[in-house]
A and B are shown apart, each in its own frame.
Chain A
Amino acid sequence: MINLIRSEVLKIRSTQVWFWMLLLAAAFTALGTIGNVVNAINDHDNGAPVDYYGVFTQSQGAGVALLVLGLLGLTTEFRHKTITPTLLATPNRWQLLAGKAASYAVFAVVYALICVALNFAIAIIWLSAAGVPLDYGHGVPGGVGKAFATLVLTGMFGLGLGALLRNQAAAMVFGIVYFFILDNVLNFVPWVRKGYAYTPGGAIKAFNSNGHLEGMPGDVHLLAPAAGGVLFVIWSLALLVIGGRLSLSRDIS
């Protein structure tokens, strides 16, 4: 399995996509942090410290980059027919899928480290310059841990979605349209939004919510953070298993 992960990591590193996705993740994180910091400075009472969790970007933006990387994981193999030599090197298809998931987890951790560091650096420098003290007391370790977990799971979600759809263009369009458009539309459509809590987007929001649900309609009740996390794990694993079952059990011809 170590050899397989090394091979898959090398596969990702051998193109420039990971670098552009990292830039995208960093850009989302920086923009999110700047927005949070500006809000924090505007809202804070003189002398009172700002809760760091309030300026933490929670990495959903960076998750888009991991989603794209994950989507490319298998669809690229089918598009360029490299699935044939890949399966010749690793004939066990479930092992291959597990190896790919593990390699995206490696990238997710690296992305998360960079995004969290960037978030922290921007926040601490800007807030210090503005004379606003930071308070690290409330849920910061948990929040950072959730950022890591969200990115890891988003990579797996993308990998599973790619396995399910196989067609690279279709998977990319669906994945991006879902998280950028549909997810925001679903929680405002009457009746539909009652089930929003159980969608992947709802699960991620619940997982990272820490009890704060700004911008959501009043009758949308997200799950508890832990339940949201478990639900997103289920969504990611289910897509991986179903996608793997449908895609990799087919004849490679």
Chain B
Amino acid sequence: MTASQLAASPREAPDGRIVVDNLTKVFGNQRAVDSLSFTVEPGSVTGFLGPNGAGKTTTLRMLLGLVRPTSGIATINGVSYQSLPRPLQTVGATLEAASFHPAHTGRQHLRIYCAAAGLPARRADEVLELVGLAQVGKKKTKGYSMGMRQRLGLAGTLLGDPRVLILDEPANGLDPEGIRWLRGFFRHLAGEGRTVLVSSHQLAEVQEVADRAVILNRGKLVRAGTLGELSAGTAVTVVRGPALGPLQQALAGAGFGGTTEPDGALRVRTDQLGHVGHLAFVHNVELHELRLEEFDLERLFFSLTEGEHRGANLEQPGHFQPPFQANQQGGGAR
């Protein structure tokens, strides 16, 4: 879709649809975002994923009119953010956990933006209640913990009861209790049919709540789609036993690739559990474990980027190995 087409058909865009079309941002001689295109459909939770420095925040800032694109266009409901007639009632966004005046109370902070959006002041109290900050609403934000700041940021996104929510790294700094709360919060929002775009470098965390994912690396789109689409062809069967050599040879003979983990487990690239079990039985191999590994966005990311981010600033740096480096074709951007 071209910029002119987007401009010509704002009314045709479904309510809550986000379109990023060939977006590029160059800082000096660094291409922070490079010809990025993707869409976020209404009524879904979409994970916007990639390591730190992948260009996620820059993309979101361009989407929200805070950073001017070098080229390309980003729209919400078919128009740029600046052209939205009632921005806070259309899009709720939080980009930083510390965008508060330290001398303002949480309630004052929210009331300021209520006033700007023409919302009644009582809406501030409603959203404070919603995010569990009602008890500390009259406390100055300089006394807030990181978790409370994240919640206050989320409260700000809800002020205008928008259909679209854009959240940048909302789980940063949250404790396990906070992360559990955040998961429930996303599910609640998605259950109400809202469009939620959540950026995160914690891929496993987003996988818990996302319907779709847009994976970014070094400013470029690596892959986008539903989790089902992304997981297609990535199934792995994990086999454990005291002596798996004969089974590994049989699997290779049957055309199944695989690797042996340091702990001796065999990881086979197939979802045909029955076939693997049958081969083990035929070759008289004792099995202690035979299971289908759950889809793992983080593992997928490493495999798509061919391990270039091993040790990068992901949730557990270096913990995962690319599963099939030798056979990996790499994921084409869609």
Contact = CB atoms under 8 A, between A and B. Distances in A.
A252 B61 contact: yes
A89 interface: yes
B116 A80 contact: no
A57 B118 CA distance: 40
B115 A253 contact: no
A88 B84 CA distance: 11
Contact of B112 (A10, A81, A91, A253): A10
Nearest to A13: B108
A4 interface: yes
A191 to B, nearest CB: 43
B67 A15 contact: no
Q: Tell me which of B64, B100, B116 has the highest count of chain A C-beta atoms within 10 A of its own C-beta.
A: B116
Interface in A1-47: 3-4, 6-7, 10-11, 14-16
Interface residues of B, number: 35
B122 interface: no
Contacts of B115: 3, 6-7, 10
A251 to B, nearest CB: 4
B76 to A, nearest CB: 11
A162 to B, nearest CB: 15
A82 B101 contact: yes
Contacts of B108: 10, 14
A91 B82 contact: yes
Nearest to A14: B108
Interface in A176-223: none
Contacts of A86: 116
B67 A253 contact: yes
Given A14-B112, A84-B95, A89 B117 contact: yes
A103 B57 CA distance: 32
A37 to B, nearest CB: 37
B101 A88 contact: no
Interface residues of A, number: 25
B307 interface: no
A56 to B, nearest CB: 35
A3 B118 contact: yes
Interface in B240-296: none
Nearest to B166: A88
Nearest to A91: B82
A6 B107 CA distance: 16
A7 B116 contact: yes
A7 B108 CA distance: 10
B98 interface: yes
Interface string B45-70: 00000000000011001001111100
B156 interface: yes
Contacts of A82: 99-101
Contact of B113 (A76, A81, A89): A89
Interface in B118-136: 118
Nearest to A89: B116
A85 interface: yes
B116 A91 contact: no
A36 B64 CA distance: 55
Contacts of A88: 64, 66, 87-88, 91, 93
Nearest to B153: A85
Interface in A53-103: 76, 80-82, 84-92
Nearest to A81: B99
Contact of B96 (A3, A81, A91, A251): A81
B103 A11 contact: no
Contacts of A14: 101, 103-105, 108, 112
Contact of A76 (B88, B98, B101, B105): B101
Contact of B117 (A3, A10, A76, A253): A3
A251 B68 CA distance: 6
B194 interface: no
B87 A89 contact: yes
A86 B117 CA distance: 11
Nearest to B141: A80
A88 B82 CA distance: 9
A80 B87 contact: no
Nearest to A84: B99
A252 B93 CA distance: 14
Contacts of B93: 88
B302 to A, nearest CB: 28
B100 A11 contact: no
A91 B111 contact: no
B102 interface: yes
B88 A89 contact: yes
Which 8 pairs across A and B sit closest by C-beta, in order of nearness? Answer: A7-B116, A7-B115, A89-B116, A252-B66, A91-B82, A251-B67, A6-B115, A14-B108
28 contacts: A4-B116, A7-B116, A10-B111, A10-B115, A14-B103, A14-B108, A15-B101, A16-B103, A76-B101, A80-B101, A80-B102, A81-B96, A81-B98, A81-B99, A84-B66, A84-B99, A86-B116, A87-B65, A88-B66, A88-B87, A88-B88, A89-B113, A90-B116, A91-B65, A92-B82, A251-B68, A252-B66, A253-B66
Interface of A: 3-4, 6-7, 10-11, 14-16, 76, 80-82, 84-92, 251-253
